[in-house]
Structure 1
Amino acid sequence: MISNEMAQRINTQINREMYSAYFYLGLSAQAETMNLKGVAAWFLAKHGEELAHALKMYRYLIDQDARVQLSEVAAPASVDGGVLPMFERTLEHERGVTATINEMVDFALSAKDHATNIFLQWFVTEQIEEEATVKDIIGRVRLFGDQGQSLLMIDNELAALAKQIGQGAATAA
């Protein structure tokens, strides 16, 4: 049985996941205004992934007979300066999410909550992938630049990645 403290931590994380979805939706809108359809599609696909993460945690609480407590989702700040700062802020954000997931795992282990520890391992693995993907994008933007033909190439690559994310989300659901 899940403890009230663990359920509260998961509820807090549900809010963080909803914020992440909102964060990515905002970045998608910014990319749209820059006429970067591929970047916008990638951020929009990430928005959907984050919603799925929140729902996965929601379902876990329900399955554990714990109370789901939704709270207000803060509005994310816009990111100024182009594509590179958008992805740098994304990496910073994902590292913060990784830290909170790791804190929940630490708590589950200290509480000997084996079911929650096992449940959270999926998120640990997901965060490794999330950070690696964003670091790769940042590396490519730094290598090729975020203007002209280089930006067009990156925009096209992110459009293709967005389709893969969307297909993966459809398969997981």
Structure 2
Amino acid sequence: MLKKSVEDALNKQLNAELYSSYLYLSMSAYFEEIPMKGFAKWLRIQAEEEKAHGMKFYDYIIEAQGTVKLTKIDAPKTSWKSPLDAFEEVYAHEQKVTGMINNLMDLAVKEKDYATQNMLQWFVKEQVEEEANASEIVAKIKMIGERIGHLFCLDHELGKRE
């Protein structure tokens, strides 16, 4: 059974993961409009991945005999200045999520909640990958600079994400 402090923190993270999904779906819609379909596809897949992360927290809370408490999800922004602006926000957001996961792990260690620590190890590893992916896209967009043809090539590459 979960301690209340851990249950509350896990519920907060569940809702943060759902917000991440909402944010990336909003970014996908932005890229659909400008139109850069490859960026849009990459972000739509990312939105689904974030929703799946939320469901991992949902399932764990239930399995650990806790109570899931869904709260209001804030509306994300709907436009960005450029693809670079959007992906710098993706990278910053993933860094923020990493901090939240680390704080959860700190709490699980403090509370001697070994089961939650074990579950969180997957997220610790996942965040390394999430930050690396976002950072790589930011770096590529920066290298491209004002060369619009190269940006369309990156759009094409991102559209190949499965």
TM-score of the aligned structures, taking structure 1 as reference length: 0.91
Q: Distance in 2 between matches of 1:146 and 1:43?
A: 22
> In the alignment, which residue of structure 1 is the partner of 2:82?
82
Tell me the CA shift for residue 35 of structure 1.
Answer: 1.0
Q: Are residue 124 (structure 1) and residue 124 (structure 2) matched?
A: yes
C-alpha deviation, 1:77, in angstroms: 1.6
Alpha-carbon deviation of 1:26? Answer: 0.3
Query: Partner letter of residue 152 of structure 1?
Result: F
What SS does structure 2 have at the residue aligned with 1:47?
helix
Aligned to 1:39: 39
Structure 1, unmatched stretches of 5+, are: 164-173
Q: Deviations over 1:128-158 (max 9, x none)?
A: 0000011101111111236521111110111
Count of equivalent residues: 162
SS in structure 2 at match of 1:90? helix
1:88-143, Cα deviation, whole Å (9 max, x unpaired): 01111111100000000000001110000010010011100000011101111111
The aligned runs of 1:57-72 (5 Å cut-off) are 57-72=57-72
Hey, what's the Cα distance between the residues in 1 that align with 2:119 and 2:71?
22
Which residue matches 1:48?
48
Instruction: Go from structure 1 to structure 2 and tell me whether the alpha carbon gap of 1:61 and 1:146 turns closer, same or farther (over 3 Å shift).
Output: farther
Aligned to 1:15: 15
Task: Provide closer, same or farther for how the CA distance between residues 146 and 39 of structure 1 changes in structure 2, counting only shifts above 3 A.
Answer: farther
Residue 153 of structure 2 is matched in structure 1 by 153
> CA-atom RMSD, angstroms?
1.0
In the aligned structure 1, how far is the partner of 2:41 from the partner of 2:24?
A: 10
Match of 2:94 in 1: 94
Please give the TM-score of this superposition, normalised by the length of structure 2. 0.97
Residue 80 of structure 1, CA deviation: 2.2
Report % sequence identity: 38
